[in-house]
A and B are shown apart, each in its own frame.
Chain A
Amino acid sequence: MTSPVVTLKGISVSIEGAKILEGLSLDVHENEFFGIVGPNGGGKTTLLRVILGLQKPTSGRVTVFGKEPLLSRKKVGYVPQHASFSRDFPISVGDAVLMGRLSRKKLFRHYNQEDRTVVEEALQTVGMAGLKEHHVGGLSGGELQRMLIARALVGQPALLLLDEPTASIDPVMKTTIYDLLDTLKDDMTIILVTHDTGTVSKHVSRVACLNCRAAIKTREHITHEELSDTYRYPVTMVKHGPPDQRPVTGNDA
């Protein structure tokens, strides 16, 4: 087993008296594709924010690449669930993606030709090469999410955190994104938050079923009882494909 990239020990988070995470412990290893599933309000985004150092845990300890999260940020790429910026901000897609290179720069950061080449490659990867000069305000929901993925990729992170990156993306592009993540996991560790229990089980190596507490399972050992318990809602599993390659599929709880 490779060394842990992310280590969580007894992490609890309470926000304004509400318990969001309780006693969570897990390790995510190098080049692992780790999934997090669970219902809304189950603590998935909070867990990512703890790993990013944006949310301080009430108790417990978190390390990323063996250090405090704040000290490891330059190695981390992040795709948020929603774009937190104003759509009328005067900026092109290319310039917005270019900001993903900032983590690789020192004080008084200025971009060079290499940065711009990496941006063009990333936009090509997510199928947006032709939209580089477009204004971000004119993008559809799916294009916006692909732009956020491109922004995270240009930083060439060693750890990539994605918070429901395919929520507004059509099925064809969703497959492309998951295939891309499959390729990327050779070069980086990936932690993916999703509701897409069917697809995620096909791609990830392990899954945390998170609803305040977490049950960590390898993808072969996800059961419908586990998912039903996590979502507190009946989840049906359908196994299909050749017997040795049957992924787990669940309904969108």
Chain B
Amino acid sequence: MQHAVWAAFLASIACGVIGTYVVVRKIGFISGGIAHAAFGGIGVGYYFGINPLLGLIPFSLLSALGIGLLSKKGKVAEDTAIGAFWAAGMAVGVVFIGLAPGYAPDLFSYLFGSILTVPSSDLLMIAGLDVLILLVVALFFNEFLATSFDEEYAEVSGIRTTMLYLVLLCLIALTVVVLVRVVGIVMVIALLTIPPAIARNFSRNILTMMVASSLLCLLFMLAGLWLSYLFNVASGAMIILLAAAVFMITAAGRRLLGRT
């Protein structure tokens, strides 16, 4: 249980910070594509008998760069690039898991999350990824803000917008790795979008939005964990259901209050 609380705390940091960029840049679908494509890395990890999270890191990074380069530099529509990587990554995962000898007992935990079974080694990896993500965001904070707010003006200002976009996609890929143990590949997109979308309602700037998103993320994880224990259901699904319910209530509340 202690590991689960630590996992929730550490995952909520990356989730709130990177999720904020995902929401303000409206790239939720790309994040979903990276998460699903990363399943290939889990399959490769199983096949070679290594920690699937270690297979996940290079695979999600390559998927992020592939989607980013194809949509920015290649003459491929963004949703086409996402669709191709999304399905191909899943297919690679299925093929390698099929080829791997024996049975993959904790496959479900990567697909749908299993915060209660996070080992110490994964906690260390998640903490390391958090530090890396926060460091890169701190270094490029103003550049990320400028490109998120007005990409064309940022380019005119001499900022290398494509390079920064690829760096951001790589940070999303690393956040996917962080969140996989908590809610699983299938539901990562919800944690990257719902807490920041709620936080935006009462945030005056991007920094407060990041902090509020992280706190909301932590709240959803801990409350979802408790509810899953109470009702004896899967924790990942309960976390997402709780987040989605709060999102719908806040959206309805805003509408009732006349704010769009």
Contact = CB atoms under 8 A, between A and B. Distances in A.
Contacts of B158: 73-74, 102-103
A146 interface: no
A55 to B, nearest CB: 11
Determine chain B's interface SS by DSSP, over half rule.
helix
Interface in A81-96: 83-86, 88-92, 95-96
A231 B239 CA distance: 61
Contacts of B146: 99, 102
Interface residues of B, number: 27
Interface size class of A (residues with CB under 8 A): 20 to 34
Contact of A91 (B143, B149, B154): B149
B200 A84 contact: no
Contacts of B168: none
Contacts of A122: none
Interface string A60-100: 00000000000001101010100111101111100110011
Interface stretch (A21-29, A104-112, A206-214): A104-112
Given A54-B155, A74-B158, A78-B156, A85 B149 contact: yes
Contact of B205 (A95, A103, A151): A95
A155 interface: yes
Interface of A: 52, 54, 73-74, 76, 78, 80, 83-86, 88-92, 95-96, 99-100, 102-103, 105, 108-111, 135, 151, 155
Interface of B: 24, 26, 139-140, 142-143, 145-146, 148-159, 200, 203-206, 208-209
Across the A-B interface, give the 8 residue pairs with the lowest CB-CB distance, nearest first. A103-B157, A85-B150, A73-B158, A102-B157, A90-B203, A109-B142, A78-B156, A99-B146
